[in-house]
Amino acid sequence: MRARELDLSLRNEALPLISKLRQLNFGLMLTLTLVACVGFAMLYSAAGGAWEPWAARQMLRFAIGFVIMIAIAVTDIRLWWRLAYAAYALALVLLIGVEIAGEISGGAQRWIDLGPLQIQPSEVMKIALVLTLARYYHGIPFAEVNRIVYLVPPLLLVALPAALVLKQPDLGTAVLIGAGAVAMMFVAGVRVRYFAIAGMGGLGLLPIAWQFLRDYQKKRILTFMDPESDPLGAGYHIMQSKIALGSGGVFGKGFLGGTQGHLNFLPEKQTDFIFTMLAEEFGMVGALVLLGLYLTLLAYGVAIALRCQHHFGRLVAYGVITTLFLYVFINIAMVTGLIPVVGVPLPLVSYGGTAMMTLLIAFGLLMNAHVHRDVRLSRHGTLPEA
């Protein structure tokens, strides 16, 4: 009964802000905050038991990002629907912009510096692509999904930014963008056969792709194969990370007790390798608890996607949660030495303002899909006429 009322009021767009706020997914927000708190604790430890320079700033960012997340969640979903393509276009322009700036300054360029604000176009693209693909598949009839004509636009939409990011070069983000898009196309109904063909083709292109990798990227992959071959060079990160993990054991060395982290043997302990630090100080138990929290987030995301009444919301929710999962998987697999070091942070835990903001904006969109789950969104993004 109550759902129906809500439904009606939503359709009439008369849902007051307070009602929308009550629709927020508090379980998801709690889990999110718990994960972030793990991050604060580890950043506090990484600084040798100090709030500065990382933990305090990270908390501030989280607080700001959290408010933004809620604001995004309660904003009318149609606004995001409308902005999707524009956001993609903007992200693409920014990506090309840094590419040109990089050419001029003669080095890898990933940032756009706007004084106090630094924008990483690839981060913007992650969100924009999710929105864009969601809007695209929302707008075409299900029967048409597997027609070649309808397959080309999404492929281009993915390939363009992925290629630009790869050229930066940022292999990790390129993989994230590509894999996220593939997942979205899969749940949108693209035939498994096509993925199989694309997969075979990709495998065939691998030797050619190898040629395009930068030397340091090749080296990372080679050292990944045999990290002990170069313990002080490129294999150092993996080796030290494994030592930290292994020496942590089941229950860890205790909070602030990690020698590998505190004595700086662990590289980039406050960013990409923060999971290692956690696993050193809290052992396998601590690592599994954090993994469990991420899987809880995944479950929330999937549930929201399944519950959503419109395709746009479903795809946005699924795209966001898939991106999160990919982050987590790639980061943990990387620091445990399962895959090469690609430079992907651990979401909500690693120190870094842009990643934190990107993730909270993405979660804002995920919760937006949750808040607006019962809205009837037409193919053209409008509410059907009453």
Partner 1 sequence: MRTDADRRKSFTRRATLLAGGKLLLAAPLAARLYYLQVQQSDQYTTLAEDNRINLRLLPPPRGRLLDRFGEPIATNQQNYRVVIVSEQTRSVEATLDALARLVEIDDHGRRRVLREVKRKRAFVPITVRDNLTWAEVARIEINAPDLPGVTIDVGLSRHYPFAASAAHVTGYVAPPSEAELTGDPLLELPDFRIGKNGVEKTFDERLRGKAGSLQVEVNAFGRVIRELTRREGARGQDHMLTLDMRLQEGIAQRLGDDSAAVALMDVTDGSVLALVSTPGYDPSAFNKGLSHAHWRELSTNPRAPLVNKPIAGQYPPGSTYKTIVALAALESGMSPSFTVSCPGYFDMGSHVFHCWKQGGHGSVDMHEGLVQSCDVYFYEVARRLGIDRIAEMSRRFGLGQPTGIELPGERGGLIPSREWKQAVTGISWQQGDTVNIGIGQGYITTTPLQLALATARIANGGFAITPRLTRPSAGAEPPSRIAGVSDASLAFVRRAMGNVTNSQRGTAYRSRIPEPEFAMAGKTGTVQVRQISKAERATRLRKNDEKPWVERDHALFIGFAPVERPRFAVAVVVEHGGGGPAAAAPIARDVLRDVQRRAPSYATVAGA
Interface residues toward partner 1, by CB under 8 A: 141-143, 183, 186-189, 240, 242-250, 259-260, 262-265, 279, 283-284, 287-288, 291, 295, 298-299, 302, 305-306, 311, 314, 318, 322, 325, 329, 332-333, 336-338
- Under DSSP, the state recorded for 342 is -
In the complex, what is the shortest distance from the CB of residue 102 to partner 1, in angstroms, rounded to a whole number? 30
Which CB, 20 or 262, lies closer to partner 1? 262
* Closest CB to partner 1 among residues 94, 287: 287
**CB closer to partner 1, 124 vs 184:** 184
Of 108 and 285, CB closest to partner 1: 285
304 in Cβ contact with 27 (< 8 Å) = no
Min separation Cβ 32 and partner 1, Å: 18
SS3 of residue 158 by DSSP: helix
CB of 11 to partner 1, least distance (A): 16
Q: Residue holding tokens 């904003």?
A: 75
To the nearest whole angstrom, how small is the minimum distance from the Cβ of residue 338 to partner 1?
6
9 versus 264: smaller Cβ distance to partner 1: 264
- Rounded Cα distance between 354 and 172, Å, is 15
Q: Report, in Å, the least distance between residue 115 CB and partner 1.
A: 28
Could you give the CA distance from residue 277 to residue 280 in angstroms, rounded to a whole number? Answer: 5
Considering only CA atoms, which of 57, 52, 130, 56 is closest in space to residue 353? 57
Nearest-approach distance from CB 56 to partner 1, in angstroms: 23
Tell me how many helices (H) and strands (E) the chain has: 15, 2
Query: CB-based burial of residue 380 (10 Å sphere; 0-12 exposed, 13-18 middle, 19+ buried)?
Result: exposed
In the numeric block, the tokens 């993609």 are attached to 88
Look at residue 113 and give its three-state secondary structure.
strand
- Indicate the residue among 77 and 188 with the shorter CB distance to partner 1: 188
Tokens 């590509």 correspond to what residue?
A: 178
